[in-house]
Amino acid sequence: MNPEFNPPRGRIYQIEGKCISLIGNDIDTDRIIPARFLKCINFDSLGESVFEDDRAILRGKHPFDVDESKDASILIVNSNFGCGSSREHAPQALLRWGIKAIIGESFAEIFYSNCIAIGIPCFTLPKNSIKDIQKYNDNKNFFLEIDIKDSCAKSKDLIFNLQIKESSRKMFLSGEWDATSTLLENENLIENKFNDLPYLKFNSNYF
């Protein structure tokens, strides 16, 4: 887990880091972050509780607990990852644990969209390629360098051609995924639009 949370901002071209593998299909959002944590006021502490129930069952042997996974930032998963409830807390918890990108066989649509909205690119690879990475990652620390522009990932020994929606790829390269930064960068346009709205001008007479 990354103790210092630095949220992504603006344009994202490359992501590099250690991989962490989570084996299993149909891992839903209730497993990623159990429902009892949805009552939180903000997302700040969710990273500590990611996969809380699964980790309790495995008593320190869960991939998110073992020493080899410390400082990992690229999550490798199987099919239909993030299915179930549409809760945005799931990608928020992963982000705050330290995950910067996810590579899997497939993703639930709403989970995928929630990830993109907070700056976590989700890439897909065929089943055999995912299994190869997970098998390789099981035996040693496995680092990948992801190039979003070219949609590829490479290590010292392997290279993979990743799949990502073209619209998502363009959003990361342009920074348009980051709605807050986009708004701040266009403060003058917002101010001009505000001043052009007749009903706001009218209401301003009452203040």
**pLDDT > 90: percent of the chain:** 66
Residue 143 CB partners (closer than 8 Å, separation 6+): 16, 17, 18, 19, 155, 156
Dihedral sign for Cα 80, 84, 88, 90, please.
negative
Amino acid 158 reads L
pLDDT(35) > 60: yes
Whether the model clears a pTM of 0.75, i.e. scores above it, the answer is yes
Summarised one tens digit per residue, pLDDT across range 99-131 is 999 999 999 999 999 999 999 999 999 999 999
Summarised one tens digit per residue, pLDDT across range 46-100 is 999 999 999 999 999 999 999 989 899 999 999 999 999 988 999 999 999 999 9
**CB neighbour burial string for 130-168, b if at least 16 within 10 angstroms, e if fewer:** bbebbebbeeeebbbebebeebebeeeeeebebebeeeb
**pLDDT > 70: percent of the chain:** 85
Question: Looking at residue 56, what is its pLDDT?
Answer: 96
Amino acid 160 reads F
Say how many C-beta atoms besides its own lie within 10 A of residue 175's C-beta.
16
Question: Looking at residue 2, what is its pLDDT?
Answer: 53
**Cβ–Cβ under 8 Å, residues 34 and 53:** yes
Collapsing DSSP to helix, strand or coil, 123 comes out as: strand
Dihedral sign for Cα 38, 83, 85, 15, please.
positive
- pLDDT tier at 147, thresholds 50, 70, 90: very high
